[in-house]
Structure 1
């Protein structure tokens, strides 16, 4: 190849065949010294090739070129190939063929445009060199690979997989993919510290923070994690009033899960994040006795998970009934039959197609989640026809009688409101303020009688008694009551008695006074307008009597003016004005309301930021452990507690930094 290439460069440097050669061929060969001059000559000829559309060569080594327009023979300016040029050809066009010369000039200009950005030989060789470790390009690619591992729940060993390495090599040949050890011991801790610093800066100026916590044990490895998630309202800018949350830690939890051990571990987390107990508003936990004891040991306010309480209500009020539990047991047997038999599943899908129904699989329930039982029964009722058709031709481990089918339909009707409330209260934007209104609505719904209650009155009565028993004192809890008052969607409209409203307002007033004393919010309240001095008018000779009466009038006016002026800056006036206004729509955001009205009600807004940041459930922690189960799985069953915590922390918090 080099010899033939050298010959072509020396003998046909200006021929059209050489001009059609690829630049890459030249670049790949020109590093050899004998070809260097030929390569330069080729590139120069390529850039000047626009003139050859007006001339032709009888032979590649001819000393003259023939003008295609006038057939004149024009010297190529030399006696050998190495001295040939196109100067005479261009002059001939300029003097004899001006129109063609203009066309040549335009073509050359367009031809030179890509040549201006054409890389030099040195740059072309440099493109083949690997990036250095401190190269900005290499650092950015490594950062994106870490983000890919974290956000998509990939194992750290993915950087050693053949397919992934081939992909990176194809996308950027100059990048050297680091090994697993570098990713695990250097890149991952570096990203962890970056995100941790970002969250620390956000929490630094937050006065009050709420938390959720829970304990999770892994199925694939002997590992338990204790989580702590922070929730707060961002009020940094005047127009900002947004709910924020971040996972602070998911520490490996060793030893017995006693209340004392849990308390010590959570206190250690707070110390690590420089959060004093005085800044802890409330901690949402499950209803386990060890969690309750842990919060008492710490001396902080805590609330049980409302979703867990609803779970107990449904079990006590409905699922524990013998007739219902027997029907549900048969449901589980039927679903288990299809779940463990691919053949049975295929047959059921064929029946669904024959009946022109959507192809769906039955859902299995989870014992710890009542709403999963609700979804299981719903899926069975939806496939009632297909299951009946299947049972006519094939054996089932259990069957449902007509009475049981009817019972399940009634159970779904009764439980539908509970499912709706659970879904609403478990959303990421929900707050503890929704608990009292939800309980009030459930009580009224269960107590209301209608013609459609035939056959389910007993169920509704049993559930109503369970709700009243489980939530008997909920309105007396200040954490619930004050938050409900501060939610502009509810205010004092959902309390069951005037006494409970009064106690809630008294508690709110105390909290507002504490806020005014601990902050400078009073300085943002507009000053009272200066009083206009009243004009003194004298009539006839009764000036003395007028002045004495005038003094009494002024005294009374001044007293009322002072009372009115004091009210504009008092907690009482803010609370009274706020309560008298209409509630906002339930679909509107309470946080947006306070962002707009925080100037009108400064003390109320500051107190709302404290109480509305608390979620109504500990679902955030449970969702965290759903993420943990995807990270600590069979592929990574040897993952240590420290690395697992980093991956969980980054999975949940990296989107805050990247603003995804």
Structure 2
């Protein structure tokens, strides 16, 4: 039997899930209803969502429109015909003439009526044709996505020029009001995205979390949480934002730990957490420790602190460069003069970059740009501000500091991604950075010599024990691009390899768990002592280990002996091709290579939040900002 069509406007706000049941698009509550009445849906909307308008302005029928137009014309005809007949009766002209005039008048009237009716029909079909309900809903959803992902204000639907643009693009689409957009469409789109992301994260075998805190321009505190996992179907590293929530409690270790635990339970991933990546804030690290999760320090934050602490050895030169940059950025005549001299020297005009202490690699960007237009800067300063001139020794310091800082610039950019494996590079980059810094040990320029020495000390302090971190060293070994080659000390690899073999031997695969044989009863069938296969079976039995730990050792040794793949290849695709060969290693790999090396994903969330909640949008509530961020990041 065909299902009954749903004509009520209430179905714009509900979704039919089961027979006689419907789910609210705003609060996701499932309601029961009778076979012939949807009164429960109406009562729910009035009680729980009273601000949402459930009335639908129905369009006029074409027949009614034409009938009204025709009746109006006929009324005019009725008024015109008696006038003609009266004139005919009092006229001395022949009757035939009167009859002709009457016929002509009726024809003109009918023609005018037909033109009016056809014009109305054309206007309705070509210009005022309404969109279907599904199409209108799709346009509403796309409008909300544009606002969330483009950091637009909700009031854009009230701007006159935007409304004119939409009218020109599709006259049949009626823009929702700002209130409808805020109180109806936004919660609906948020709940829809929430259900979609929850369905996706269910497939994850292991989840890595990044978290950080942020304070908005309205002095509201937020905590962002992102989740990262390997999709076992597509073999891609996936990232989702599971919350950018307003947090009004005291930022103590206990409170933050409880907040994180509640979020993990809400998403049903509390038993899948393998690591929590955060910056070096003491309260976040303490919260992770209280929660019983493993912690990984953000690699990018650590590098930034390392560089900032070491730059104090060349602070005198850096300060002089900052003063010059500030002058040209602040003085319009100075900026114009610098541009003119660059053009005279046939140099592509470049603007100077300002150093910002909270922005990673900004000192390198400033010095690198400064040195690129060295000649133009020297000439311009000599003309307009000779007191800002740098000494020859300062220029030597700038020139020699750039290649040293470029090491950390390259590493920071490469580990900050979230769509490719990065945790396995943590130990490798520490090894490479140490080797590169060692090359500058023979430097004779005093400030640079002190700079290099300080960098070595900071590296040893922050990354001296990085190869002893269980998560990072196992991730390095399980990455077919690095394996043992990623370690600086081979002893640390041997220790990690022995532990990994033991862990792999304890893995019980799902197929093995269901096929564990029960104790067999003694067989009554006599064995063939002199079978031709007896010797062969004994040899095979000696080669195939029965101990699971021994089997894990064999699998691990075979994996280590395979050649390394190119470092630009995707290790997840390599594991996809060898999934059946290294079954235990593959299962364990899913719990390590999904870990991110930095908490940059949270920094990106806050950057988007800052673009959405700016000085012109301070009235945006914390709840709406959280919903907009969820839609924008997912």
TM-score interval (norm. to shorter): 0.7 to 0.9
| DSSP-derived class of the 1:617 partner | coil
| DSSP-derived class of the 1:251 partner | strand
Greater mean deviation of Cα atoms: 158-167 or 459-468:
459-468
- Structural RMSD (CA): 3.3
| DSSP-derived class of the 2:486 partner | coil
Superposition deviation, residue 310 in structure 1: 1.2
C-alpha contact 2:480 2:565 (8 A) present in aligned 1: yes
C-alpha contact 2:156 2:162 (8 A) present in aligned 1: yes
Partner of 2:13: none
In structure 2, do the counterparts of structure 1 residues 417 and 393 end up closer, same or farther at CA, with 3 Å as the change threshold?
A: same
The equivalent position to 2:561 in structure 1, one of 580, 596, 617, is: 580
C-alpha contact 1:333 1:397 (8 A) present in aligned 2: no
Partner of 1:291: 284
| DSSP-derived class of the 2:214 partner | strand
Instruction: Find out whether 1:432 has 2:431 as its counterpart.
Output: no
Deviation by residue 1:335-361 (Cα, 9 ceiling, x = unmatched): 111222223222222222222211221
Instruction: Find out whether 1:198 has 2:180 as its counterpart.
Output: no
Partner of 1:635: 616
C-alpha contact 1:568 1:574 (8 A) present in aligned 2: no
Superposition deviation, residue 235 in structure 1: 0.3
Partner of 1:248: 242
Greater mean deviation of Cα atoms: 338-347 or 595-604:
338-347
Superposition deviation, residue 396 in structure 1: 6.2
Superposition deviation, residue 480 in structure 1: 0.7
Alignment of 1:341-356 (within 5 A): 341-356=331-346
In structure 2, do the counterparts of structure 1 residues 521 and 647 end up closer, same or farther at CA, with 3 Å as the change threshold?
A: farther
Structure 2's unaligned 5+ residue stretches are 1-64, 75-103, 108-117, 517-527
Superposition deviation, residue 566 in structure 1: 6.8
The equivalent position to 2:581 in structure 1, one of 583, 586, 600, is: 600
Return the alpha-carbon distance in structure 2 between the equivalents of residues 176 and 556 of structure 1: 81
Superposition deviation, residue 616 in structure 1: 0.4
| DSSP-derived class of the 1:367 partner | coil
Partner of 2:597: 616
Return the alpha-carbon distance in structure 2 between the equivalents of residues 128 and 369 of structure 1: 53
Alignment of 1:41-440 (within 5 A): 122=121, 125-127=124-126, 129=128, 131=130, 135-218=133-216, 220-236=217-233, 240-276=234-270, 278-316=271-309, 318-321=310-313, 324-395=314-385, 398-428=388-418, 429-440=420-431
Partner of 2:477: 485
C-alpha contact 1:524 1:602 (8 A) present in aligned 2: no
| DSSP-derived class of the 2:610 partner | helix
Partner of 1:500: 492
Deviation by residue 1:587-609 (Cα, 9 ceiling, x = unmatched): 11111111211121111112111
| DSSP-derived class of the 1:281 partner | strand
Greater mean deviation of Cα atoms: 434-443 or 266-275:
266-275
Deviation by residue 1:143-195 (Cα, 9 ceiling, x = unmatched): 22112111211111111111111111222223221111110111011111111
Superposition deviation, residue 256 in structure 1: 3.0
Return the alpha-carbon distance in structure 2 between the equivalents of residues 125 and 163 of structure 1: 24
Deviation by residue 1:442-499 (Cα, 9 ceiling, x = unmatched): 1222224698887755543432232122211111110111000011110111223332
Return the alpha-carbon distance in structure 1 between the equivalents of residues 431 and 261 of structure 2: 36
The equivalent position to 1:447 in structure 2, one of 432, 438, 441, is: 438
| DSSP-derived class of the 1:588 partner | coil
Partner of 2:539: 557
In structure 2, do the counterparts of structure 1 residues 121 and 449 end up closer, same or farther at CA, with 3 Å as the change threshold?
A: closer
In structure 2, do the counterparts of structure 1 residues 420 and 453 end up closer, same or farther at CA, with 3 Å as the change threshold?
A: farther
| DSSP-derived class of the 1:627 partner | helix
C-alpha contact 1:306 1:617 (8 A) present in aligned 2: yes
Partner of 2:95: none
- The TM-score, its normalising length taken from structure 1, stands at 0.73
Query: Number of matched residues?
Result: 519
Deviation by residue 1:495-526 (Cα, 9 ceiling, x = unmatched): 23332112211332244245x2374477899x
- The TM-score, its normalising length taken from structure 2, stands at 0.75
Return the alpha-carbon distance in structure 2 between the equivalents of residues 485 and 399 of structure 1: 52
Superposition deviation, residue 535 in structure 1: 8.0
Rg comparison, structure with higher value: 1
Structure 1's unaligned 5+ residue stretches are 1-26, 37-79, 84-118, 526-532, 538-549, 654-660
Partner of 1:12: none
Partner of 1:87: none
| DSSP-derived class of the 1:344 partner | helix
Superposition deviation, residue 252 in structure 1: 0.7
Return the alpha-carbon distance in structure 1 between the equivalents of residues 537 and 585 of structure 2: 33
